[in-house]
Structure 1
Amino acid sequence: MNIFPVIETDRLILRQVTKDDSESILEYLSDKDVMKHYGLEPFRSTEDALDEISWYQSIFEKKTGIRWGITLKGQGRVIGSCGFLNIVPQHCRSEVGFELSKEYWGKGIGSEAFEEVIKYGFEQLNLQRIQALIEPPNISSQKLVERKGFIKEGLLRNYEFTCGKFDDLLMYALLKQDFEKMQC
């Protein structure tokens, strides 16, 4: 994983996020609705966006994760991101996360990106298990992962302390063999 992989779908290009994307990232990560279930306060400055981009780069360099910027074909602007974090090579597992600019909600873009990232995880990163940790009020993300075959395994009570409060998280997971069955 030295060269950042680009993923192409029918409508999207998933690519590395760079400092040049800081304004578009700030635009959607400063939206309180987008950030409602993100575990961070809405961004307030370009510096916040640059810190996020630095984090994307550091997890890629350390091989603990990979985060793609979601762009529409023919447009360079990043409208969301999707990728893996907390990759544990000895156990062949990782967590997956995603967010999308509100103006693109409900158009199947998140689903299209998410599906290709999951495929990349199983086929290129040789993952056996992909986990999604989702706040219980985040119904749209729950529906998305369930449509992609993820199974709800349980509730992690007070699992994270974010934005001044403890949050419960639902644990969803998809195993490689279940993913492969769905591909047939």
Structure 2
Amino acid sequence: MDKATELFPVLETERLVLREVTNKDAQQIFDYLSDEEVMKYYGLEPFKTIDEALDEISWYQSLFNQKKGIRWGITLKEQGEVIGSCGFHNKVSQHYRTEIGFELSRIYWGQGLAREAIEAIIQYGMEYMTLHRIEALIEPPNLPSQRLVEKLGFTREGLLRDYEFTKGKFDNLFIYSLLKTDVEN
């Protein structure tokens, strides 16, 4: 076991365990990332092969190993299977900021699980990663994600026009932020 794996933080909430994703989780990752509805605003086409899931897991691991972020697998305590993921990427240490990302298997939507997971990683990020600013970039039609981050205290700052080129087109993104001072007040 390498040091990076040993140091990967495991977070627990009332119903969830957030843990490192490994290649053993590839089938579960594939199952929900091959769903068109889950992938609608993900910036990638729905996965068609297990190799795409393995590539995604490799990206999660590189985030942590290169200290550019961290991505947790979301699991139900009684189950242990990965039903989604959440975490931070594009970390800019000198400015104490990062971007947040998350997705959840469609069968678990509407149960408050994403909110529970994201609350846990926000607390971890502010406390242990010395983050001051967490950004969320969300496509305008993605109303559920907008509602979720707004419930968590994020502020919509504006629209980033044609900010990303995904799936053969340019996408506008709303930029939201949550500051450490927002959480402390």
TM-score range, shorter chain: over 0.9
Q: Which runs of 5+ in 2 are unaligned?
A: none
Q: 1:20 aligns with which of 15, 20, 24?
A: 24
Give me the whole-angstrom Cα distance separating, in 2, the residues matched to 1:63 and 1:96: 15
Alignment length, in residue pairs? 181
Partner of 1:54: 58
Q: Which amino acid aligns with 2:160?
A: L
Please list the CA deviations of residues 137-161 of structure 1 after superposition, one character each: whole Å capped at 9, or x if unmatched: 0000000000000000000000000
Partner of 1:128: 132
SS state at 1:14 partner: strand
Partner of 2:101: 97
Q: Which amino acid aligns with 2:41?
A: H
Q: 1:30 aligns with which of 28, 34, 52?
A: 34
TM-score, normalised via structure 2 length: 0.97
1:160 aligns with 2:158: no
SS state at 2:67 partner: coil
Please list the CA deviations of residues 8-58 of structure 1 after superposition, one character each: whole Å capped at 9, or x if unmatched: 000000000000000000000000000000000000010000000000001
Q: Which amino acid aligns with 1:15?
A: R
Partner of 1:39: 43
1:84 aligns with 2:81: no
Please report the RMSD computed on the Cα atoms of aligned residues, expressed in angstroms: 0.8
1:65 aligns with 2:69: yes
Query: Per-residue deviation at 1:5?
Result: 0.1
Partner of 2:113: 109
Please list the CA deviations of residues 71-120 of structure 1 after superposition, one character each: whole Å capped at 9, or x if unmatched: 00021110000000001000000000000000000000000001101111
Q: Which amino acid aligns with 2:53?
A: A
Q: Percent of counterpart pairs with the same letter? A: 64
Q: Which runs of 5+ in 1 are unaligned?
A: none
Give me the whole-angstrom Cα distance separating, in 2, the residues matched to 1:135 and 1:165: 13
SS state at 1:107 partner: coil
After the TM superposition, list the runs of 4 or more consecutive aligned residues in structure 1 that deviate by more than 6 angstroms. none
Q: Which amino acid aligns with 2:178?
A: L
TM-score, normalised via structure 1 length: 0.97
Give me the whole-angstrom Cα distance separating, in 1, the residues matched to 2:13 and 2:177: 23
